[in-house]
Amino acid sequence: MKKVILDTNFLMLPVQKRLDVFELIPEILEDRVEFYVVKQTLKELENLSKNRGKSGMAARVALELLKSRKVRVLDVEGRSCDEAILRVATNDFIVATNDKMLRKRLKGANVKTIYLRSKKYLGMD
């Protein structure tokens, strides 16, 4: 079983791009998956969910998906989501993110990443 940490921008894809990341990630990994988020991601989604428009709606849907899919929350030290993800990701996790800078930093730490490619496909580094 693979362990995948979901970043905020990735959790908003179901609304923004109409992609079911909870179905696509196990397909690309060809294995069962246990999903995780860091507590900073939850806080970021809660703040975004207060907004009107697409980003607010995407964040609200993401929060509902986290509950319905029973995604585990990791309590990790760090000011930002990226900092927290970097701290924990080296412990045999794969990180799902579209953040180019975070992907670059994770690659430097030999952490595999899943990202959106060509607006509707997932790729993996």
Picking from 44, 43, 23, the residue whose alpha carbon sits closest to that of residue 33 is 23
Residue-level pLDDT at 15: 87
Residue-level pLDDT at 4: 97
Residue-level pLDDT at 118: 84
Q: List, run by run, the mean pLDDT of 10-residue segments along the chain (125 residues).
A: 95 90 94 96 95 92 94 92 92 93 94 91 90
- Rounded distance between C-alpha atoms, residue 94 and residue 22, angstroms: 14
- Left (φ > 0), alpha (ψ -120 to 50) or beta: where does 37 sit? beta
- Rounded distance between C-alpha atoms, residue 19 and residue 16, angstroms: 8
Domains of the chain: 2-124 (3.40.50.1010)
